[in-house]
């Protein structure tokens, strides 16, 4: 039986390869063709992300070497040229969060560039029809998108840049994020007067579906804490009974717990495995009063913890690193939801909404929405009213009927 033929990636795109040593450790390599069209392998490091960063640098150097001494023709500038420039400009300004930069890398190297000849497509050749095809392909989860000559997809979110991932249909919000980045990249070409009109302009974007939060009651919150893996009872209890976001809970240190006043001080957050930094907004810096039972649970956890210094993180993996949000969500939280027989669509963030809803119902008539805004750390009062006015439905109805 003959082997199935495989389409090779164009030489200009390079690839990522992994080799395992005798001791089991892995080294990732950037594989590329130099200016003389000789294949080269360069060791990058222990992750695919290191290899992708090195590969991007090497490809740029090769391109520069090939064009050295030749006058630059603006109309020949590629999608990769403007994508790299977009990333550099955002990095130079330092105005965006580290997680936002990671999102850009995923969108650009994992989705956009593979859809346009791995970035070698000239920006002057990108047409509105290409944008429409991209949107349609992402809605359907097509691997080889019919935009140009896509060979395969990468998704850096899986295991660093360059890790292969099975294609899947993307949500309307995610697709809109992709198109926003594409729009910004092509705006740079407009500024250079390479193109006159942004081909993204006028594209029909998928409509967003409004998802109302799912609320569970006090009994169900307590049940979730009871059935979760005992090792993660502390983190789950904080999520259920403090209203903290997952990133805020992951970044908690022992100095943030006021055991005497029964308060949690929120002053940092960690998103998607990144290093802890400032929380979501200025309003997110806050003191959250919590139930005494939660404080007692954290006190027990501190007694049994190996590291209890003021700057030591409370919730860590067995290796001592901050708990991975994806692992907690998929392995711990989902198992507890199933065990507690709660709705499948329950999200971790719904625990935050549920805590607030329970708090308001317990203190009906005494808790103002302004106080709720301060407790939850909402950036604006409008966010609070949009989410939680349903709790006061009975009172509002009574007021209207008086």
Can you tell me the mean pLDDT for 287-300?
A: 94
pLDDT recorded at residue 233: 96
What residues pair up with 20 in beta bridges, in sequence order? 26
Element holding 32 (H helix, E strand) = strand 26-33
- The domains found in the chain, sorted by start residue, are 11-71 (no CATH), 78-209 (1.10.150.130), 218-401 (1.10.443.10)
- For residue 22, give both structure tokens: 């005798």
> Which of 61-70, 99-108, 269-278 comes out lowest in average pLDDT?
61-70
Number of Cβ atoms within 10 Å of the Cβ of 343? 11
Alpha carbons within 13 A on the beta-carbon side of 389: 7
Number of Cβ atoms within 10 Å of the Cβ of 325? 19
Tens digit of each residue's pLDDT (9 = 90 or more) over 334-359: 999 999 999 999 999 999 989 988 88
Number of Cβ atoms within 10 Å of the Cβ of 182? 27
Q: Is the pLDDT score of 163 beyond 90?
A: no
Q: Is the pLDDT score of 97 beyond 90?
A: no
- CA trace torsion 10, 12, 15, 21 (10° rounding): 120
Tens digit of each residue's pLDDT (9 = 90 or more) over 99-109: 788 889 889 98
pLDDT recorded at residue 15: 87
pLDDT recorded at residue 2: 40
Can you tell me the mean pLDDT for 19-44?
A: 81
Which residues, including other chains, have CB under 8 Å from residue 39's CB and lie 6 or more apart? Answer: 31, 32, 33
User: For residue 179, what pLDDT band results from cuts at 50, 70 and 90?
Assistant: very high
- CA trace torsion 60, 188, 112, 170 (10° rounding): 150
Can you tell me the mean pLDDT for 155-182?
A: 68
> Which of 179-183, 217-221, 242-246, 317-321 comes out lowest in average pLDDT?
317-321
What is the pLDDT of the chain when averaged over all its residues? 81
pLDDT recorded at residue 166: 57
Tens digit of each residue's pLDDT (9 = 90 or more) over 223-247: 999 999 999 999 999 999 999 999 9
> Tokens 């708990």, residue?
323
Q: Which range among 110-114, 262-266, 283-287 has the greatest average pLDDT? A: 262-266
Q: Is the pLDDT score of 25 beyond 50?
A: yes
Which residues, including other chains, have CB under 8 Å from residue 239's CB and lie 6 or more apart? Answer: 246, 249, 348, 351, 352
Can you tell me the mean pLDDT for 88-104?
A: 78
- For residue 350, give both structure tokens: 């719904």
User: For residue 208, what pLDDT band results from cuts at 50, 70 and 90?
Assistant: confident
């Amino acid at each position: 039986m003959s082997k199935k033929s495989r389409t090779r990636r164009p030489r200009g795109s390079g690839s990522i390869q992994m080799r395992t040593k005798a001791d089991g450790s892995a080294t990732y390599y950037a594989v590329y063709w130099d200016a003389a069209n000789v294949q080269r392998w360069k060791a990058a490091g222990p992750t695919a992300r290191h290899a992708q960063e090195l590969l991007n640098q090497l490809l740029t150097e090769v391109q520069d070497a090939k064009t050295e001494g030749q006058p630059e023709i603006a109309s020949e500038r590629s999608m990769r040229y403007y994508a790299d420039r977009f990333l550099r400009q955002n990095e130079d300004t330092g105005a965006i969060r580290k997680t936002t930069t990671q999102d850009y890398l995923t969108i650009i190297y994992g989705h956009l560039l593979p859809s346009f000849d791995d970035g070698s497509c000239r920006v002057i050749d990108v047409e509105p029809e290409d944008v429409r095809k991209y949107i349609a392909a992402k809605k359907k989860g097509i691997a080889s998108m019919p935009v140009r000559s896509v060979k395969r997809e990468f998704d850096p979110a899986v295991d660093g840049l360059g890790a292969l991932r099975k294609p899947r249909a993307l949500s309307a919000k995610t697709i809109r994020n992709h198109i926003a980045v594409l729009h910004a990249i092509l705006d740079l070409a407009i500024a250079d007067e390479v193109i006159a009109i942004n081909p993204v302009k006028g594209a029909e974007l998928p409509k967003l579906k409004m998802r109302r939060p799912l609320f569970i009651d006090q009994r169900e919150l307590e049940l979730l804490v009871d059935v979760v893996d005992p090792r993660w009872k502390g983190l789950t209890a904080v999520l259920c009974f403090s209203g903290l976001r997952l990133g805020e809970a992951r970044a908690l240190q022992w100095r943030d717990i006021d055991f005497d006043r029964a308060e949690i001080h929120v002053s940092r957050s960690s998103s998607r495995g990144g290093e802890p930094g400032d929380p979501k907004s200025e309003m997110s810096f806050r003191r959250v009063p919590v139930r005494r039972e939660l404080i007692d649970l954290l006190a027990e956890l501190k007694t049994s913890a190996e590291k209890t210094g003021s700057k030591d993180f409370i919730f860590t993996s067995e290796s001592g690193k901050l708990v991975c949000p994806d692992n907690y969500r998929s392995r711990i939280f989902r198992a507890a939801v199933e065990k507690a027989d709660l709705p499948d669509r329950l999200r971790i963030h719904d625990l935050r909404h549920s805590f607030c809803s329970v708090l308001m119902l317990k203190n009906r008539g005494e808790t103002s929405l302004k106080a709720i805004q301060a407790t939850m750390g909402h950036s604006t009062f409008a966010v609070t009213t949009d989410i939680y006015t349903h709790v006061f439905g009975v009172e509002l109805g009574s007021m209207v009927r008086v």
